[in-house]
Structure 1
């Protein structure tokens, strides 16, 4: 790691320091031992594979109703230092937002030549869940280690945050967890099973309801949220932005599932699209949640089917990553004409996108099968939809059974409808959710740091020195 001088500039490397790597025979031999794909052959084979896997939007069966509303979920984390004389002391802020968009009002043609911004404002309503946790050095009592402090903070967040519009729908995140992990959309489980005590490691399972229990061995609290195992990823020194990101992922999924459940209580459910910013997946130590999420969505679909309702678009929209880069490459090679959907069995993913063994792609993380779609106006999307007919998305690792994904046509029709030119490959509901959730870098981080310092009784620190800015010529 380089040093930093008084002006805030990093120590510069010697301009010839790379020479040793270039002339080292071991480095050269290691490079020669690496395998490269035959690019010409790969292009031809990819073209053949895409030709077999793609279909026109119009060839998909239309099983659903016109979408008049959309609910989008997005989150944003930030971590700031709060003690100038103790630089490792940090707190993390987290926002998860839900944007409820009236698509009929949003997309209605203007009464005259210009769009009325007041109408656009009335078409979207935002709900934001806000929280803060100690991520490094800071805790709740003397002698408490960082995993225990983060566990306590997560339990507090899950018990305090309440969601829903009507009295029947109000729920804390702990309530939602009890519905999703072992329960059903209609009935929460009585308890969650924590395999080991996070404090002393004594074997369970420890049955924890909506409130914490005391470990029978060490008498330390065991929280219902310990089932997520986020404490296993806590770094004992330095930043814990990774854990904050894992927590955001879990909260996003739980909020997403709960709003689907709330809307499924009424017939408007079948006219409402539900969009999660990111793939339908849970990563890290909490990945077991994905199995509960898959069962939860299938149970909602089964109930809607018994009522004679059609399931609406439910999707995760992936904006970055190697699969998104691959989709753009296909579009640049004219392999994705507008209005084209490409299904992605695991053989294709393992051969051309994420090389690896024949094991099912995303089997431990994904509760949605991923597809590529190019809209009528040329936008390229990677999205995931749940397998609603039962089973799991890994059942389609050899060939994708489109009948198991009855919302495909309404999903791609939605993507054709709600695009925006504000950002590359963007859709309006997700852009609005991000607008509600996003935490600005730069001055935004400084404001959050000052807020934490003032609240903790610390004298706010001045902005760090900035490198000089030269005028543009």
Structure 2
């Protein structure tokens, strides 16, 4: 590895002729001769593509959520760093979507739709070498997470909805007469001292005291984001994980609202989340109550149509491999063995996603131009299913009937609701990053 650039001296440059020794090596020459490009078309894994289910009804009310993150780092010591997070929720009427040109939608029509139908939330996190009067970065970020979830939004548009949705999920308030306390979690103040993991809060409480150390704890601490921080340093993963939580709470907020005030509307809705229906690491504490909710809702006769779309990653890459030869208007639902062997290329035991996922993976090929990786909640009663089939996918027929109407031709495999939500939430590298950098540098950051 070369020496890096400093404020006084340039970086060490890599050798321009160093590759000659590699090329001349007899071992390297023999290895290159032995390497072959595999014939992928002749060696594809066995896949069970099935016709896209038919007979469903088109869903008329569509909600989509997306998020974006931008880290701002100063290039000189002490290398200060901030992270900005923005998430958006978009409500779209099926008839309004139908009027848009799928190839070249009128930008003014898109702007009008987004202005009338979008809510967004934004926050910022100090990651390192940024002082906050009277607080460590550790405690400051915990408070930022709590108060960000309570965000009222522009003109009180959010009304603290995300925190209410978090409480609705973790306290299982969707159940009648629920009195559930918060699931035990590691107290951010005393966990490392006591090695115990039983901080909690009574039903419906936003904040309280740890039963061990009596320090203040928040309901948002159940997410465990404090595990990625120390006293005066936080990893970027704190902001990334917060974005994942915010996207999830955004898409569940209209579900909470309709569940409370008019459940019949849920039968006409499609909820679309950018990214997989999963919550990694400590965030998985939120996945269990979500699965419980889908189970309970179905038992009450309310099936909720939700999809997550993966636009990158292992599953997306695998679809590019197997999708070319797949028949049009078909789906393939991989089981646990297939995912472990063919997608992850692992010999690991255990069930993929059993603690983190609240939806099953499926590959969808609509036509030669539109292939996508979707996630759909599963189970005859909403529980995790190791080897799902189409019958396990909640409202798959209605989802299949709606997909052709919301496809965008501007990008391969694109869904218009996600495309539009991304337009609201996006923080591009340029000019957004530069604007945020100038904003942060002009603020009172010391």
> Aligned ranges for residues 19-418 of structure 1 at < 5 Å?
39=38, 46=44, 49-50=46-47, 53-57=48-52, 60=53, 62=55, 64-81=56-73, 87-108=78-99, 119-124=109-114, 125-142=117-134, 144-161=135-152, 171-186=160-175, 191-201=181-191, 202=194, 203=196, 205-209=198-202, 210-215=205-210, 218-234=213-229, 240-264=235-259, 265-303=262-300, 305=301, 311=303, 313-332=305-324, 334=325, 336-356=326-346, 357-376=348-367, 378-393=369-384, 395-397=385-387, 400-418=388-406
Deviation of 1:137 after TM superposition, in Å, equals 2.7
Q: RMSD of the TM alignment (CA)?
A: 3.6
8 Å contact kept, 2:365–2:371: yes
- For 2:4, the equivalent position in structure 1 comes to 3
Change (3 A) 1:354 1:348: same
SS in 1 for 2:140: helix
8 Å contact kept, 2:66–2:421: yes
After superposition, what is the alpha-carbon deviation per residue over 1:342-386, rounded to whole angstroms, capped at 9, x for unaligned? 111111112211122242111221110000001136311000000
Deviation of 1:266 after TM superposition, in Å, equals 4.4
66-75 or 400-409, which moves further after superposition? 400-409
The total of aligned residue pairs comes to 428
Partners of 1:103 and 1:443 in 2: how far apart?
Answer: 32
Deviation of 1:208 after TM superposition, in Å, equals 2.3
8 Å contact kept, 2:363–2:374: yes
User: Given the two structures, how large is their TM-score scaled by the length of structure 2?
Assistant: 0.83
User: Given the two structures, how large is their TM-score scaled by the length of structure 1?
Assistant: 0.79
SS in 1 for 2:254: helix
SS in 1 for 2:119: strand
Partners of 2:24 and 2:17 in 1: how far apart?
Answer: 12
- For 2:413, the equivalent position in structure 1 comes to 425
After superposition, what is the alpha-carbon deviation per residue over 1:85-119, rounded to whole angstroms, capped at 9, x for unaligned? 75433222111101111221221388xxx976655
After superposition, what is the alpha-carbon deviation per residue over 1:189-237, rounded to whole angstroms, capped at 9, x for unaligned? 5642443321222435222253333445555322221111111112677
The gaps in structure 2 that reach 5 residues or longer are: none
Change (3 A) 1:90 1:374: same
Partners of 2:9 and 2:68 in 1: how far apart?
Answer: 27
Partners of 1:171 and 1:378 in 2: how far apart?
Answer: 41
The gaps in structure 1 that reach 5 residues or longer are: 459-473
Change (3 A) 1:16 1:44: same
Deviation of 1:18 after TM superposition, in Å, equals 5.4
Partners of 1:148 and 1:55 in 2: how far apart?
Answer: 51
